[in-house]
Amino acid sequence: MTEIGVVGLGYAGLPLALAFAQEGLPVTAYDIDEQRVETLRAGGDPLGDGMKTDEESIAYTADPAELSDCSVVFVSVPTPVSADSEPDTSALRSAGRTVGEHLSHGATV
């Protein structure tokens, strides 16, 4: 079965990871924020909007090496826009480097 990776467990990434897990798909849910990961592992809701986060088929991690088993990886990180309408893509570039270091051959991002 295809393992799905989700990078970034904020307002877009966490619901995405949970949606896949609720369908019974194995999900590796990665975030750089270890506190957020620990909260999720304990079944907590770090976003405070009442989400049920304790799905059986989801593994929360702050270790990017765990993405190596994923054949599909979704990247969902902040890209804020400045006052002059320029996007800040630094988090996206950083996440891309991190994912790239741990991808298996043939994986899709």
**Average pLDDT of 4-10?**
97
The token duo for 35 is: 């506190």
pLDDT one-digit tens code per residue, 25-71: 999 999 999 999 999 999 988 888 887 888 889 999 999 999 999 99
- The per-residue pLDDT for 1 is 54
Cα of 103 vs its chain's centroid, Å: 14
For position 58, what pLDDT does the model report? 96
pLDDT of residue 46: 84
For residue 2, the model assigns a pLDDT of 67
CATH topology of domain 4-102: Rossmann fold (3.40.50)
How far is CA 73 from each of CA 16, 30, 37, 85, 94, rounded to the nearest angstrom? 11, 10, 18, 28, 15
5: β partners: 28, 73
